[in-house]
Structure 1
Amino acid sequence: MARIAGVDLPRNKQARIGLTYIYGIGNPRALKILEKANVDAFKHIQNLDEDEVNRIRQVIEDEGGVEGDLRKDVSMHIKRLMDIQSYRGTRHKRSLPVNGQRTRTNARTRKGPRRATVAGKKKATKT
């Protein structure tokens, strides 16, 4: 099993698909990485030899911006928005949609499950 950038790539996937398991690498970037490393994009991960894996690893290290470093950068950007109390930062802080979506009806993914409304009980009065 090939291990690149701290991620075990699935053995039975094509190289172009397997690289997308690394945070920060999507389809277009995976194809560019494989082109620079001179590796066939349709070759399966299990069929890559050690030299090809090392070339892929080297290209990814040269480009940078994957896995832990990228996650840290993204979280620091969000933290900065919260610190300066921008609109986007307050939306992140309150776990609401950030990019202007409506929240009256949708946004259940971001807001979480609905909270059940409890009907107000009438207090028993003494007679």
Structure 2
Amino acid sequence: MARIAGVNIPTNKRVEIGLRYIYGIGPSKAHSICKQLSIPDDRRVNQLSDDEILKIRELIDSEYQVEGDLRREVSMNIKRLVDLGCYRGLRHRRGLPVRGQRTHTNARTRKGKAVAIAGKKKVTR
């Protein structure tokens, strides 16, 4: 099992897919890494030599911000917004959608499970 940037890469997957297990590397970055190091598309992680794994590790360390450093930067950016008290910071603080989505319906991922309001009954005449 290859270990890159502190993450165990699954051995039976293609290299381009396996690199996506690293936080901060998506489809386009994984493809460009394979292109730069001239790794074939059909190569699996368990078929990589130690030299190729070392090259991938060095390239990621030098050119990309991944895992802990990236997570830290993202959380610091959110903390800065919250401390400023700007609109986006307030939305983060309250756990509501930040980018203008509607909240009258939906937004359950951010708001959590819906809570029923007790004692609300229809008025009958």
Q: TM-score, normalised by structure 1?
A: 0.91
Q: Is 2:76 the counterpart of 1:92? A: no
Q: Which residue of 1 aligns with 2:73?
A: 73
Distance 1:61 1:40 in 2: 21
Q: Which residue of 2 aligns with 1:35?
A: 35
Distance 1:53 1:116 in 2: 53
Distance 2:92 2:79 in 1: 9
User: Any unmatched runs of 5+ in structure 2?
Assistant: 121-125
Worse overlay, 30-39 or 63-72: 30-39
Distance 2:62 2:41 in 1: 19
Q: Which residue of 1 aligns with 2:61?
A: 61
Aligned residue pairs: how many?
120
Could you tell me the percent identity over the aligned residues? 53
* Aligned partner of residue 82 in structure 2, secondary structure: helix
Residues 62-101 of structure 1 show CA distances to partners (whole Å, capped at 9, x for unaligned) of: 1131000000000000000001111111000000000000
Structure whose alpha-carbon radius of gyration is higher = 1
* Aligned partner of residue 118 in structure 1, secondary structure: coil
Distance 1:24 1:2 in 2: 18
Q: CA RMSD in A?
A: 1.1
Q: TM-score, normalised by structure 2?
A: 0.92
User: Any unmatched runs of 5+ in structure 1?
Assistant: 121-127
Deviating beyond 3 angstroms after TM superposition, the runs of 4 or more aligned structure 1 residues are: none
